[in-house]
Structure 1
Amino acid sequence: MKKSNNKYTVTAAFPYANGPIHIGHLAGVYLPADIFVRYLRRKKKEVIFICGSDEHGVPITIQAKKENTTPKEIVNKYHFMIKDCFENFGIHFDNYSRTSTVIHQKISTSFFKKLHKEKKIFEKVSEQYYDNQAKQFLADRYIYGICPHCKHKEAYGDQCESCGSSLSPEELINPLSTISGSNPVLKKTKHWYFPLNEYQNFLEKWILMDHQKDWKVNVYGQAKSWLDQGLQPRAITRDLDWGIPIPKEIGKVLYVWFEATIGYISSTIEWAKRKKKDWKPYWKDQRTKLIQFIGKDNIVFHCIIFPAVLKAYNQGYILPDKILANEFLNLENEKISTSRNWGVWVHEYLRDFPNQQDTLRYILIANMPEKKDNNFNWKDFQKTNNTELVAILGNFVNRSLTLIQKYNNGIIPHPGIFSITDKSILKKIRKYPENIGDLIESFRFREALVCFMDLARLGNKYLTEEEPWNIKKTEQRIETILYVSLQIVGMLAQLAELFLPYTANKLLKMLRLEAYFWNKIENVKEFLCPGHVLGKSTLLFNKITDKSVEKQLEKLGKSDL
């Protein structure tokens, strides 16, 4: 009998180490991945959560020029900044690596060598733009010009950020070098190409047949669009000094999108060596599920190029079971822009709003752009915090704990006879884990959060309608109401960890409870037994003031990195 799946390899897209991470990164990739991994761990699934910094490619060298320093200094600066932000935001990877490690260079080079030896890549001489003043070939991002589609004046050689069109440098009108500002000339250069066209049939079967019904619409649609256009050979090397060098070649490096996705494998191997474990079951066991969380601008690399490379390498690697990409999150109805400093940078948020990670986590999950672009604005941030986290969740917990302290010295009372309402509430509570679990397994994280908050709303409504403070209530009735209320608080404490880990820790400490595994959450008869003594209570959330929001609005567009 075939053993059922019990292993998951969950990867989150490697952020570029050319700047700090912002709220768009969190809402698009890292929070959905974090919620899913937290849920798997509560389900007692064996899961590794893999990420790392993408430290090669043109954005790194461009940033180094801007900051008048070296690419190595840039990646060191931002790698540690990004890593600290994830840690302080409650996103804990099993391994957070970087593509400048020796192990990554070894693994990615071994892919190139094997494909080269087996003639699965080929050399081709082509003409590429060259800057005579800077004396170097220009990668896509080192060229800008007029977009042939929307006529935007500063479209890059790979993409127009105004209309979103994918471009090649040759399509630009009046191309210019970003290094010298001069007109580049076409010059012959040799590169290695991966024949993607040879994997068209394989990818069509894998994507269009095997995953037509279980992939997100945006991911499937974009992958299908590439296949419909017909795949073409794609260069896997670049004329650059910064990157993983091609063996026996000077001034040639692996194209970042050939080697960066291999980083998931090298990061796993790094983790396995540290833990003295075998990494192969996480990448070569057909029972293991590979789930990848990415940005929508990375869909082609994860759905087309990476799977084709794994197929060509032919060493038994599993293919992704799911590839999840959200849409974009805008800020104050405008696209987040690093160059204009139009963003909410996570390291600055952590500094400006100490111990309020969960406030931002909540707002970003509630506004997660799962199906279409969404928007973050500071006034909504304030309103949502004050009217939902403070007035609903915080208020219900505070009322319940204050009342039990007043009427029963902070001890869970013995309930009397349950009313029809009490029985209905206790029955409803037990359905929440299953409902939330189903939504998370369907990758509907916003709805899962709404479901969680509905439980707090249910508690508030119950307390308001039952009025345990009413002097006409008997002592036994008051104790029954408080008992029921605290069962709701107990369930909230267990479920909160998926979305609001810092709040969950506070709440569990106040209740003197430990975190349960999912099976126990679904089946436990009561979270807080009569006679259980509660701990010291504190407020879960604080109101966000007009002043703090105005300060953030004033910062937008000003350089503070």
Structure 2
Amino acid sequence: IFRKLYDKGYIQPRTQKLLYSEVEQRFLPDRYVTGICPNCGFVEARGDQCDECGHLYDAVELIRPRSILDGSSPVVRESTHLFFDLPAFSEQLIAYLDAHAHHWRSHPLNFTRGFIENGLAERPFTRDLDWGIDVPVSGWEGKKLYIWAENIIGYLSASIEWAHHIGQPNAWKAWWYDPDAHSYYFLGKDNIPFHTIFWPSELIGIEQLYEDDPTKRLNLPYDVCANQFLTLEGGKFSTSRNFAVWLPDMLAAYDPDAIRFYLTAVMPETADSDFSWADFVQRNNSELVATWGNLVNRVLKFAYVHWDGHVPPPGPLRAIDEELLAHVNGAFDRVGDLLSAVKLRPALNEALAAARAVNAYLDKAPWFAVVKLDKTAAATTVYTALCAIDAIKVLLAPFLPFSSEKLHQLLGYTQPLFGCQRITTYHEATRSHDALVYDAAGAVGRWEPSRLPVGQQLKRPSPLYQKLDESIIEAERKKLLAQG
């Protein structure tokens, strides 16, 4: 990729002013410098981008910069580097945005458009570092490729590596040259320009890669699904200050689906949102457990006790039964459309609405009180509820995969809902590494309404989720303060 851009004249040498540490006797890369943001005044801005406002700049623009290595105030010196000609792609980038404006989120779209309309500047492609990837042309010894330039290439290089490892070296082309293959990039808003400007410019610049057909071009990102910021108890996450919730700790204490449920429920898709331990407990108990978990448990227990552990045979479906199943089955289109539009919070809410509809149905339909008087009526209600639960299991599977798989088994299915994951070691010329591989063989999960067979043997019910004690709120808050 570098050589193609270089040979096409998109990469040229330029002299630039950089910050230099007289104490360390070295130029300071962007991430080795901190200071005051020249745009918003944030006092802990990084050397290339402000985490507070997202503004990009050169490190020399920082107000009162200081080295994070020794705390000294660096001086400005000149150094020659290779620069990427971003302005050459301005018109093509605007056309690219226009073509995707109907399905992008407003923030990445507006941010990128404003970034381009304010005038793109050439971007350094190399850095003064003693580690990293060497510049692949002679005369630039001692320089390394800038991390943003080589890092985003990983999307493509990983695809090529994957194709090599599965023994189909050209398989990656189906994902990168077929215009019907859509790529979705999930990231935080501070990484928007790297995925909506820099990476598309590289792809436009090289046009093709290992492809002889001149009519083919590498696919640009179909959707850049950038989230806003998630704060923690009203404050900013900071790994350097240890003000964070660490995933290994959270997985050791809480069910993974409870974590996934909450993070989806508060996902900052269109505006900043907050991770609160009180809200985590409240949503787990009142939504995940009360709305969905309790529904599943009471219906499965009732069926298990009164029909000898089998799906009961219904009588003719009544209007109230057909109305519920129509609502739940219609959710496949509603939730599916929202997932396709990468509106994950609304998709989760729509799936939960289907669960609430089942709860409302059970409040009206005959079952619990009439099982001894009219077992056929009760069987019809329970069968309808089981079919609805079986369908909602699939609607919730993208968010709650572990409990959906468990419910799938409780409903008596013998083949898995999902495939299996395994760790495979790949051996390369310079090193070996492990990769997580998904094998879909044997999985029966489909995005479609329930086909639950009458008479299917159910497994003994057990709760899908656990209610959380409110005492953990204060305990987790104290732990957070102690970390910092």
1:159 aligns with 2:49: yes
Task: Provide the C-alpha distance between the structure 2 equivalents of 1:333 and 1:150, rounded to a whole number of angstroms.
Answer: 20
Kept after mapping to 1: 8 A contact 2:54/2:189 = no
Quote the residue 1:123 is aligned against.
13
1:298 to 180, 191, 202: 191
1:323 aligns with 2:216: no
List per-residue Cα deviations over 1:246-284 (Å, max 9, x = no partner).
134333111111111100111111111111122222212
Amino acid corresponding to residue 160 of structure 2 in structure 1: I
Quote the residue 1:447 is aligned against.
346
List per-residue Cα deviations over 1:450-496 (Å, max 9, x = no partner).
11111221222222323522157412111111111111121122223
Equivalent runs, 1:131-530 vs 2, <5 Å: 131-207=21-97, 209-247=98-136, 248=138, 249-277=140-168, 278=170, 279-315=172-208, 316-353=217-254, 356-471=255-370, 473-513=373-413, 514=415, 515=417, 516-518=444-446, 521-522=448-449, 527-530=451-454
Task: Provide the C-alpha distance between the structure 2 equivalents of 1:297 and 1:418, rounded to a whole number of angstroms.
Answer: 53
Task: Provide the C-alpha distance between the structure 1 equivalents of 2:316 and 2:96, rounded to a whole number of angstroms.
Answer: 58
Amino acid corresponding to residue 205 of structure 2 in structure 1: A
* Alpha-carbon spacing, 1:153–1:375, altered in 2? closer, same or farther (3 Å): closer
Deviation at 1:173, TM superposition (A): 2.6
In proportion to residue count, which structure has more helix?
1
List per-residue Cα deviations over 1:288-327 (Å, max 9, x = no partner).
2222222211111111111111111121311122211111
Deviation at 1:157, TM superposition (A): 2.4
Deviation at 1:408, TM superposition (A): 1.1
Kept after mapping to 2: 8 A contact 1:511/1:534 = yes
Deviation at 1:421, TM superposition (A): 1.2
| RMSD value, Cα | 1.9
Task: Provide the C-alpha distance between the structure 2 equivalents of 1:539 and 1:303, rounded to a whole number of angstroms.
Answer: 44
Q: Secondary structure at the match of 1:145?
A: strand
List per-residue Cα deviations over 1:375-397 (Å, max 9, x = no partner).
11001111111111111111111
List per-residue Cα deviations over 1:23-70 (Å, max 9, x = no partner).
xxxxxxxxxxxxxxxxxxxxxxxxxxxxxxxxxxxxxxxxxxxxxxxx
List per-residue Cα deviations over 1:219-259 (Å, max 9, x = no partner).
11011111111111110101111211113433311111111
Kept after mapping to 2: 8 A contact 1:410/1:534 = yes
Task: Provide the C-alpha distance between the structure 2 equivalents of 1:439 and 1:151, rounded to a whole number of angstroms.
Answer: 38
Quote the residue 2:211 is aligned against.
none
Task: Provide the C-alpha distance between the structure 2 equivalents of 1:181 and 1:468, rounded to a whole number of angstroms.
Answer: 72
Amino acid corresponding to residue 497 of structure 1 in structure 2: A
* Alpha-carbon spacing, 1:461–1:558, altered in 2? closer, same or farther (3 Å): same
Amino acid corresponding to residue 476 of structure 2 in structure 1: Q
Kept after mapping to 2: 8 A contact 1:132/1:185 = yes
Kept after mapping to 2: 8 A contact 1:341/1:558 = no
* Alpha-carbon spacing, 1:496–1:256, altered in 2? closer, same or farther (3 Å): same
Q: Secondary structure at the match of 1:309?
A: helix
Q: For structure 1, which runs of at least 5 residues remain unmatched after alignment?
A: 1-110
List per-residue Cα deviations over 1:346-368 (Å, max 9, x = no partner).
11111222xx0000101111111
* Alpha-carbon spacing, 1:423–1:132, altered in 2? closer, same or farther (3 Å): same
Deviation at 1:419, TM superposition (A): 2.7
Kept after mapping to 2: 8 A contact 1:340/1:557 = no
Q: Secondary structure at the match of 2:100?
A: coil
Kindly tell me the number of residue pairs found equivalent between the two proteins.
Answer: 443
Amino acid corresponding to residue 333 of structure 1 in structure 2: G
Kept after mapping to 2: 8 A contact 1:361/1:500 = yes
* Alpha-carbon spacing, 1:322–1:161, altered in 2? closer, same or farther (3 Å): closer
Q: Secondary structure at the match of 1:431?
A: helix
| Identity across matched positions, percent | 35
Amino acid corresponding to residue 332 of structure 1 in structure 2: E
Task: Provide the C-alpha distance between the structure 1 equivalents of 2:9 and 2:368, rounded to a whole number of angstroms.
Answer: 80
Kept after mapping to 2: 8 A contact 1:237/1:254 = yes
**TM-score after normalising by structure 1:** 0.75
Amino acid corresponding to residue 281 of structure 1 in structure 2: A
Deviation at 1:151, TM superposition (A): 4.0
* Alpha-carbon spacing, 1:133–1:227, altered in 2? closer, same or farther (3 Å): same
Q: Secondary structure at the match of 2:482?
A: coil
Q: Secondary structure at the match of 1:337?
A: coil
Deviation at 1:434, TM superposition (A): 1.4
Task: Provide the C-alpha distance between the structure 1 equivalents of 2:177 and 2:445, rounded to a whole number of angstroms.
Answer: 28
Equivalent runs, 1:61-80 vs 2, <5 Å: none
2:473 to 546, 549, 557: 549
Amino acid corresponding to residue 136 of structure 1 in structure 2: R
Kept after mapping to 2: 8 A contact 1:363/1:384 = yes
Task: Provide the C-alpha distance between the structure 2 equivalents of 1:143 and 1:280, rounded to a whole number of angstroms.
Answer: 40
List per-residue Cα deviations over 1:399-453 (Å, max 9, x = no partner).
1011112211111222123332122122222212111111111211111111111
Kept after mapping to 1: 8 A contact 2:243/2:483 = no
Kept after mapping to 1: 8 A contact 2:22/2:74 = yes
Quote the residue 1:30 is aligned against.
none
Task: Provide the C-alpha distance between the structure 2 equivalents of 1:161 and 1:323, rounded to a whole number of angstroms.
Answer: 19
Kept after mapping to 1: 8 A contact 2:86/2:201 = yes
List per-residue Cα deviations over 1:106-137 (Å, max 9, x = no partner).
xxxxx222322332211112221111110110
* Alpha-carbon spacing, 1:245–1:505, altered in 2? closer, same or farther (3 Å): same
Kept after mapping to 1: 8 A contact 2:54/2:190 = no
Q: Secondary structure at the match of 1:130?
A: strand
Kept after mapping to 2: 8 A contact 1:496/1:503 = no
Kept after mapping to 1: 8 A contact 2:17/2:60 = no
Deviation at 1:214, TM superposition (A): 2.6
Kept after mapping to 2: 8 A contact 1:358/1:501 = yes
Amino acid corresponding to residue 444 of structure 1 in structure 2: K
